[in-house]
Every structure is written in structure tokens, then in C-alpha cells.
Amino acid sequence: MNKQNIVEKYNISQPKFDEILDDLNISQDTILFSDDQIALFERIFHLARQQKKGYKKAISIVLNQSSDSSEHSEPSSVLDPKLTDFFHQKSATFAEQMIDETPHLLNEQRAAARKIIVDSFWKRINEIGNSEEFKRKFDAVLYGDDIVDASVLPGESSALPESSSFDS
């Protein structure tokens, strides 16, 4: 927003607006004002008109509120360029470090997952191998005992008897 628009919007004289600019330490030669400056003007004009304060008193109140609130509010969004460069450098360094470490982390996670799978597989195999039912069926098949519940699982072929027709 430019100077003329502000003068028209708030119905204030040019000399009075120049006086306000001087009190705010803003150059009278300023053509366009930032959003922060416009917000500052709006607060001043609000106090001056709605709460019947003089412009000087309104400026004093707004400037004191700004300094009080800046002590307790979040840091300004405008940072020193050196600080901004420092943050960019540190974040880039961190990003590169994470990129370098990612393959190693993924390999470690894969190895841990493999270990869990293999351990659980062998645990289950040992549970099955140690069960009484498995031992009975295994002994029956191994020693040829005639146990009725030694059955062939689906997908497996039954063992051929010793006197099969294929031996002849």
C-alpha cells in the first residue's frame, strides 16, 4: 500500500501522516509500506479514533505494546542473513549425514528382520521336533512301525513299499 492510499483510507491529512511517520522513525520518502508497517498504522489509527487517543499517545501505546510483546512472543520471522546462512549450512550438513547413514540403517534393519524370521523359524521347528506327536510319527515312518496315525501330508507322495512293481 502506498502513502496516498493510506491517507485516503484513514482520512488523514498528508502533514499529519508525515508527522506520524517521523514519530515512528519511518522516512517520509517511503513510497510503499510493508504489511508490518500497515498493521502498525492500523493499530495507531484504531487507538486514535475508536478509543479517542491522540496520535502521539496511540503511537506510544503501540510501540510499548510491540516492545513488551516482542520479549514474550516468538522470535521475529526476519532473521539476520548470517544466521539464516548458518541454519541452511547446518540443515544441509544434517541432511547429507542422514543420506549417508540411511543405507547402513536400512541394512541393519534388514539384518535384524532376517534374524527375527530365522530365529522364529528355528524356534517353531524345534517346537515341532520336540512334540510327542511328531516323535511318534517320525519313529513310525523311520522304523516302519505300523501306526495308524502316521499319515501322508497333502502334497507329499507316500513311500513305496519295498516290494513295489518298480523294483522288478
Evaluate whether residue 162 is within a structural domain.
Answer: no
In a domain, 155, yes or no: no
Residues 137 and 101 in one domain: yes
127 lies in which domain range? 94-143
Distances (CA, A) of 8 to 22, 130, 139, 147, 157: 19, 94, 104, 106, 98
Flag whether 84 is in a domain. no
- Residue 17 placed within a domain: yes
146 pLDDT higher than 50: yes
Write out the three cell numbers for 165: 512293481
Pair (66, 7) in one structural domain: yes
Domain membership of residue 128 (yes or no) is yes
Decide which of 21 and 149 is more confident: 21
167 within domain boundaries: no
pTM over 0.75: no
Claim to verify: residue 11 and residue 58 sit in the same structural domain:
yes
Residue 25 pLDDT > 90: no
Are residues 99 and 58 located together in one domain of the fold?
A: no
My answer on whether 17 and 68 are in the same domain is yes
Domain count, the chain: 2
78-132 residue pLDDT tens: 567 788 888 888 888 888 888 888 888 888 999 999 999 999 999 999 898 888 9
**Is it the case that residue 72 has pLDDT exceeding 70?**
no
Which of 33-37, 44-48, 117-121, 148-152: highest mean pLDDT?
117-121
State the pLDDT confidence band at 67, using cuts at 50, 70 and 90.
low
Residues 66 and 98 in one domain: no
Residue 159's pLDDT is what? 53
Q: Are residues 68 and 16 part of one domain?
A: yes
Residue-wise DSSP of 28-87: TT--B--HHHHHHHHHHHHHHHHS---HHHHHHHHHHHHHHHHHHSPPPS---HHHHHHH
Residues 13 and 66 in one domain: yes
Q: Report pLDDT for 118.
A: 95
Query: Do 54 and 8 fall into the same domain?
Result: yes
What mean pLDDT value characterizes the chain? 78
